Copies of this chain bind each other. A is one copy, B any other.
Amino acid sequence: MLKVYKVSLKGYASDLDIGASKAKQILWFLTNVLFFKNPFIVISSLKGYLLKAFGAKVGKGLVMKPSVNIKYPWKLELGDYCWIGEKVWIDNLAPVIIGNNVCISQGAMLLCGNHDFTKSTFDLLVKPITLEDGVWIGAKSMVCPGVLCATHSILTVQSVATRNLSAYTIYQGNPALAVKKRIVVY
């Protein structure tokens, strides 16, 4: 018979490669609260400038609404003409790579962190997320660690992408399933 093990968080230690000095992490933490999470700050160009100063790649024409939460800008790439809605949460413990003309609607979350729930040590697992050109992540929806949303895929409102999304396809539910093709007529 299988022995039943128990989780212990007492000795937990993450070996995550954060990719920035402690000083840079603290400075970004403050910048994130003061300029990104802050509900008053509406100027997208300022946010693009700050993201680049902290190591993000940011394309032209960024639109970023207030109350956005970004974990590590040095692990973020944004293509041209991306829209990041109000209260979007990019929890990028691992790289998040976003193409051109991508829309992430209000309240959506990109989640890169997981735990190995088969180990009593509950080890941190992180995986990158990729959103290719023309993807639309719907309001309050969720993209899980390691997911690739192929070009022009759509994740509908409050749905949860647990697996890769196919190009030009619309997904709904938790877990999100393909419900129809996306045809762009002109």
Contacts and interface: CB of A to CB of B under 8 A. Distances in A.
A120 B81 contact: no
Where chain A touches its partner, the secondary structure class is loop
Contacts of A157: 111, 142, 144, 160, 162, 174
A158 B29 CA distance: 25
A55 interface: no
Contact of A101 (B8, B89, B106, B174): B8
A77 interface: no
Nearest to A106: B91
Interface residues of A, number: 60
A83 B172 CA distance: 30
Given A40-B33, A140-B109, A157-B111, A81 B183 contact: no
Contacts of A29: 42
B81 A9 contact: yes
A165 to B, nearest CB: 14
Copies of this protein in the complex? 3
Contacts of A115: 103, 136
B101 A7 contact: yes
Interface string A125-153: 00000000110100110101000000110
A24 interface: no
A21 interface: no
A163 to B, nearest CB: 12
Contacts of A83: 9
A109 B157 CA distance: 11
* 9 closest Cβ pairs, A-B complex: A5-B184, A7-B134, A9-B81, A9-B101, A158-B160, A33-B39, A7-B101, A142-B158, A10-B81
